[in-house]
A and B are shown apart, each in its own frame.
Chain A
Amino acid sequence: AQSVTQLGSHVSVSEGALVLLRCNYSSSVPPYLFWYVQYPNQGLQLLLKYTSAATLVKGINGFEAEFKKSETSFHLTKPSAHMSDAAEYFCAVSVLGGYQKVTFGIGTKLQVIP
């Protein structure tokens, strides 16, 4: 079985500060890992994904994440928070099996303080 754990259901950062959202995964086989963002009243949007290529993955809006197998982590970072980054962020995992059966974490709400 596969799962993800997101540490911190709510994170607050000041505008311009580093954003760090934590995600640890559990999978019995090499996983595919994703970060999605959900703005209020909108659908989930893919930020970035790891699919066994480069361990440092760059996504949209200046976000990036690093796959660390030894730590079973896939933390999301952004050097400088912007007000528009305020949203809910979901870490997710799937395994290759012909299709994506994605398992999501519970989400982290990011608040950006001006």
Chain B
Amino acid sequence: GAGVSQTPSNKVTEKGKYVELRCDPISGHTALYWYRQSLGQGPEFLIYFQGTGAADDSGLPNDRFFAVRPEGSVSTLKIQRTERGDSAVYLCASSPPGAGTDTQYFGPGTRLTVL
């Protein structure tokens, strides 16, 4: 079946601009996660959704970052007033219901470059 998809695969923007990154989880997966992977680092947790609500947003670095999942499926990560330090690969993952410790299935990521 289809895996987690993320669009766009690459995004180049200028400092100060607004960007949206989209994640389509695996159908039926209720849990959705966003991670950020900076160059030479492992992925860092940003936010976790269970259904439509953000159950844990403790990883969002500041209030320029926001994520939504209005219908409990597709999620959008929004970054306002982008800064060069936001350049990274943004990864999305989903996992099936009732799977507190089950596998997270990762998408290929969106590479964001802020000039």
Residues of A at the B interface (CB closer than 8 Å) are 9, 32, 36, 41-46, 49, 51, 90, 92, 94, 96-107
Contacts and interface: CB of A to CB of B under 8 A. Distances in A.
Contact of A104 (B31, B40, B44, B48): B44
A6 to B, nearest CB: 8
Nearest to B4: A43
A112 to B, nearest CB: 21
B43 interface: yes
Contacts of B41: 106-107
19 contacts: A32-B101, A43-B3, A43-B91, A43-B108, A44-B43, A49-B103, A90-B42, A90-B43, A92-B42, A99-B31, A99-B50, A100-B100, A100-B104, A102-B43, A103-B45, A104-B43, A106-B40, A106-B41, A106-B42
Chain B: interface size category? 20 to 34
B25 interface: no
Interface of B: 3-4, 31, 33, 35, 40-45, 48, 50, 55-56, 91, 93, 95, 100-104, 106-109
A101 B3 CA distance: 21
B43 A96 contact: no
